[in-house]
Amino acid sequence: MTPTGPLAAEVAARWPVGPVGALTPLGGGSINAAWRVQAASGAFHLRVYRDPRRERAEVEHHAVRLARTCGVPTPDVLVTRAGSTLARLGDRWAALFDMAPGTPVPRPALTPEHAAGLGALLADLHARLPDTVPFEVPPLSPPAGVAATLERLQVIETAILALPHPDAADGWALDRTRQRLAHLRASPLPDDLPALPLRFVHGDFHDGNVFFQGDVPASVIDWEQPRLAPRAWEVVRCLHLSLRLDPTLGGAFLRAYREHLPLPPEELRLGADLYAALQERNVWVYESVYRRSNPGPRAFIRPPPYVPFPQTWTASGLR
């Protein structure tokens, strides 16, 4: 493993795929590094984990195997020559996956047909996956308290102000951080959360992790963040992250989901309330960029203004 990435010989030595002819970096990953591997036996997806904890990657691999057993279309993880699903490349853990069929659709190009496909696929996941699993999965973390979130945002503000050469995205981050600080000081959401049953979910279901063939989802990838959470939380999360609460796209998503699995409006509302509280206290993007020097999440920094989630949810009319 070199500073610019793994060597072909290293990959061939650790996985039984034959000689490796090419390693092509893949963009888009906000947490881990990824390469397309062209080997004698075919094409594969190499993931090199940023997190040093082996158990984090092992949970993902357990989730992949479980999902495949349940009939979920997701690429398998390959076994190494040593009989594991993980290998060391330099000082990082790495795994090799089959290539996912289909291709991702850029978010601006999503149509109501794509949105309906996302909704149907998520309902299918919720119907197929068991509520509980035989391996340890973290529950959805409750939102941090207001005081703790204020303190973390103030540290982020200081870090942005200390940048020697801030760019436009840094300016957006600073403005949004200050606007969120003002909101939390004036009118934060209550700390009490709606009570919804927890179940095993993908945890990071969005358009970037779904590959399409035409308008139809062909596979779902990236099981690194499975958790026990209310399914309505995962529905609302996808409506927000993938579809930006667009009424047309979101409406197509919800109709397709409900055609496959009932979702009462009250359950969806409670999921939105939970998601809103978590979003208000979520500082992962800015802490990753400005405190942990991880450039990947910079892609998620958006222009101001900061608008509390309940306002955008109400304006969407999604029910």
Question: pLDDT tens for residues 152-184?
Answer: 999 999 999 999 999 999 999 999 999 999 999
The per-residue b/e assignment along 264-299, b for 16 or more CB within 10 angstroms, e otherwise, is: eeebbbbbbbbbbbbbbbbbebbbbbbeeeeebbbe
293 Cβ neighbours under 8 A, 6+ residues apart: none
Query: What is the residue type of 42?
Result: G
Q: Which regions in the chain score pLDDT beneath 50?
A: none
Q: State which CATH number among 3.90.1200.10, 3.90.320.10, 3.20.20.70, 3.30.1330.60 fits the domain covering 107-142+193-282.
A: 3.90.1200.10
The structure tokens 């990071």 sit at 204
Q: How far apart are CA 279 and CA 205, in angstroms?
A: 16
d(CA 124, CA 217) in angstroms, rounded, equals 11
- What local confidence, expressed as pLDDT, does residue 30 receive? 60
Whether 260 contacts 121, CB under 8 Å: no
Domain ranges of the chain: 8-98, 107-142+193-282
Q: Which CATH architecture fits 8-98? A: 2-Layer Sandwich (3.30)
pLDDT at 296: 84
- Classify residue 318 as exposed, middle or buried by CB count within 10 Å of its CB (0-12, 13-18, 19+): buried
Q: Which residue, 211, 205, 212, is CA-closest to 232?
A: 205
Polymer length in residues for the chain: 319
Q: Which residue, 74, 215, 200, is CA-closest to 126?
A: 200
Rounded Cα distance between 2 and 7, Å, is 7
The DSSP 8-state label assigned to residue 299 in this structure reads G
The alpha carbon of 122 is separated from its chain's Cα centroid by a whole number of angstroms, namely 14
Question: How do residues 85-103 score in pLDDT, each as one tens digit?
Answer: 999 999 999 999 999 999 9
